[in-house]
Structure 1
């Protein structure tokens, strides 16, 4: 599948502020063979998900 943009809404993190929304590019979307949870890791470098350790199933790091 082609890369796809997705948006996640985190809600209000600080009372009085607007809800936080993150937009991310899923560079390796694949149809799931089993249900999984996608974790979005925010970091301050220009690296990709390979920067972080592998996670056991049913987690997927974006």
Structure 2
């Protein structure tokens, strides 16, 4: 699996791609980044996240072409 930190489970969050089953949608993290938040600000908002989670969320969106997040 190319993005092991990204999970898609139809039983959680309606199958929306999330970070490590944490119920934190990839789109939320990518949206925060797109709005200009720094990685440390995102980590402060979601203490369960790790820097690698943010990087993988960005890579996931780039690779999947889901730029409407």
TM-score by length of 1: 0.27
The answer to which structure has the higher strand fraction is: 1
Larger helix percent: 2
